[in-house]
Chain A
Amino acid sequence: MFHALVAIKQVPDTTNIRIDPETGNLIRQGVPTILNPYDAHAVAAAVEWKRKLGGMVTVVSMGPPSTVTAIRECIEMGADKGVLISDRKFSGADTLATSYVLAETIRSIHEKEPLSLILFGKQAIDGDTAQVGPGVSVRLDFPLITYAVIIHDVNLEEGYVTVERKTERWNEVIKAPLPALLTCEKEIAEIPYASLPDLIYSLQYEPETWTAESPVLFDVAHIGLKGSPTMVNKVTNPEKHARGEVIQPKDGIEEAIKLAFEKVNAAGIFSSISGGAK
């Protein structure tokens, strides 16, 4: 049976963050949290294949209790089950500790209900490290395919998946045995507009909640701060650059452009702007 698992994260909407102009600090209050956009597309892909092949989609997330909102969004998209792994002991986790928790969770689920595919979004928009997916694949020793843009085929009888991934220079089509782990680009699937029954079901859905002890007993040496080789030494605000010259074209655009080009030439970038770069 097709069983896909998608690891998701609830993140602050970093595209909508404001900086306090006086202190230069992040205004963390009132920043809405959202389902990580790349994870949403991964869920959509998993649900697409479930609808083709039958089977089920499970989503898991390591996070605070409020993560239930993100899980419900996945149920709305068509996922069947949600597991929230939540415990104070997990806090302070870097990517290594996070991949440990997720890998053990996935291992436990895989033992009971074998998985065909494990999907991650390519990166979370708060950390932007893209490290947890690869980390989990190493721990579980499942083949890794990152930057997946198309799932061409999932062959359950013969036990392999064919995935196209995008690199800077070309696209590669990779064939890997199941279970395989994918990290997904947005192109992998479009977010569906949920049916009303799915939406109504998700509004009241309560996920399974796991702690650091049960049903899986996580090794405390590998979770949270203890299990994190990296730690933050310092946090600062990005430097403010000295403002350059701003031309308001009162005398017309042509004048403004001539002025701007003069400065470009003066900076020695071209012999002349029409002459091409030096």
Chain B
Amino acid sequence: MTRRFWVFIEQEEGKVHPVAWELLGVANKLAADIKDEMASTGEEAVVEGILVGHQVEEIAKEAMQYGAHRVYVVDDAAYKHYLNKPYYTALASLVEKYQPEVFLIGATTLGRDLAGSVATKLGTGLTADCTQLEMGEPKGSTKKLLLATRPAFGGNVIATIVCKNHRPQMASVRPRVFPMPEPNPQAEGEIVREQVFTDNGVINAEIIKIIRNEASSAKVEYADILVAGGRALGGPAGFTMLKELADELGGIVAASRPCVDAGWITYDHQVGQTGKTVRPKLYIAAGISGAIQHKVGMQDSDFILAINRDPDAPIFDVATVGIVGDLFEVIPAMIKEIRAQKEVEHANT
């Protein structure tokens, strides 16, 4: 009996989304979680990837390096661009064929469009935006199941969800919640080519235009240094000031939700429960109060430097170092200090 832990390998235009690799790491951890259980039953746990797209063989090979023992590939021109029904039909059909125990999907825009559709098609349970995953015993059960933990009620409580009787147990996970595993260039595995599912009725919509944004998307999730602003910035001009600091540090600007809602900066910069989860080396939070919905998006940063006028702001509870002060004085002073230090360094080189 093989217990399959599946990961959807998300790709667009031949480029993999790194969350897929992060999930392969998680899947392997989950497989390890049930090792003792399987010792007695003689079952085998495998981590497998599902890849849908067009001419994606190279990606399948790369998936092995990140921990997939096997990759099922659905490859056809019809899957070149993501469309909801063709993709969920393919995934659901493969799930029916192979009956995986657990199925993980990255909670990207694509993933969130896809996961709910797949789960409903299969009539199974899906827990969204998980921050923790493990195989464990839920209340009233001796068998290990997927325990999926996620924030609820706007991030004010943490709930652990379990899907007792339906399979696969599905979960979606935001990028950067789990660490990127170390790739093993020697790893090998099997690639299984599956049939395509493009009969009539499956393709029920068409993409007639793709509008690429001129400004390159912020890639806030994978930046090492973030300079984030909150409501206290008072307007878009504040972000110009933060960008100056970010430029000096080689980082990117980010924002809390109220700033995006107010239209001062675009959503791709938003950090928090309904924005991106980030874990940069340095997170500078300027004028951010630190409400829970924002905290859950950045609290795992290596170093958090917070600036706020209010000494009781909750951000100071999670900051490594905090400065109580007016960000409009502190940020320019920081920029000045860094430039001064750079001059000294240049003078010395």
CB within 8 Å of B: which residues of A? 12, 14-15, 17, 19, 26, 94-96, 99, 123, 125-135, 137-139, 141, 143-147, 162, 164, 166-177, 180, 186, 228-238, 240-241, 243-249, 253-254, 256-258, 260-261, 263-264, 267, 269, 272-277
Contact = CB atoms under 8 A, between A and B. Distances in A.
Interface of B: 12, 84-85, 88, 108-110, 112-117, 119-121, 123-129, 138-139, 147, 151-166, 204-213, 217, 224-225, 248-251, 261, 267-268, 273-274, 281-282, 292-293, 295-296, 299, 302-305, 311, 316-325, 329-330, 333-334, 337-339, 341-342, 345
Nearest to A31: B153
A244 B158 contact: no
B117 A144 contact: yes
A17 B304 contact: no
Contacts of A12: 153
A174 B206 contact: yes
Given A99-B120, A245-B321, 19 more contacts: A96-B120, A126-B152, A130-B116, A143-B84, A164-B211, A167-B110, A169-B217, A171-B213, A172-B209, A177-B205, A230-B162, A233-B138, A234-B139, A234-B159, A246-B324, A260-B305, A273-B249, A274-B248, A277-B251
B161 to A, nearest CB: 5
Contacts of A264: 282, 303, 305, 321
Contacts of A245: 320-322
A14 B155 CA distance: 8
A231 to B, nearest CB: 6
A174 B323 CA distance: 48
Contact of B158 (A128, A236, A261, A263): A236
A169 B152 CA distance: 27
Contact of B324 (A131, A249, A276): A249
Contacts of A137: 84, 117
A246 B345 CA distance: 29
B109 A167 contact: yes
Contacts of B329: 253
For the complex of A and B, the 7 pairs showing the least CB-CB separation, nearest first, are A14-B154, A229-B125, A134-B116, A131-B116, A230-B125, A229-B166, A135-B120
Contacts of B84: 134, 137, 143-146
Contacts of A129: 116, 126, 128-129
A257 B317 contact: no
Contacts of B114: 134
26 contacts: A14-B293, A125-B154, A126-B154, A128-B154, A130-B128, A134-B115, A146-B109, A169-B212, A170-B213, A172-B207, A172-B210, A176-B205, A177-B204, A229-B166, A230-B126, A234-B160, A235-B160, A238-B151, A238-B156, A240-B317, A244-B318, A249-B324, A257-B330, A257-B334, A264-B303, A267-B320
Contact of B210 (A147, A170, A234, A240): A170
A241 B282 contact: no
Contact of A131 (B126, B325, B342): B126
Contacts of A243: 316-317
Contacts of B281: 269, 277
A118 to B, nearest CB: 14
Contacts of B324: 246-249
A249 B157 CA distance: 34
Contact of B302 (A135, A258, A263, A267): A267
Contacts of B325: 249, 253, 256
Nearest to A180: B205
A92 to B, nearest CB: 13
Contacts of A132: 116
B250 A276 contact: yes
Contacts of A19: 156, 292
A39 B318 CA distance: 33
A247 B321 CA distance: 7
A223 B160 CA distance: 21
Contact of A233 (B120, B139, B316): B139
B276 to A, nearest CB: 9
Contacts of A261: 334, 337
B120 A244 contact: no
Contact of B160 (A94, A143, A162, A232): A232
A267 B323 contact: no
Contacts of A267: 302-303, 320
B311 A246 contact: yes
| Interface-central residue, A26, A137, A245, A257, by most chain B CB under 10 Å | A257
B341 to A, nearest CB: 4
A171 B210 contact: yes
Contacts of A254: 333, 337
Nearest to B204: A143
Contacts of A131: 115-116, 119-120, 126, 128
B17 to A, nearest CB: 9
Contacts of B109: 146-147, 166-168
A247 B147 contact: no
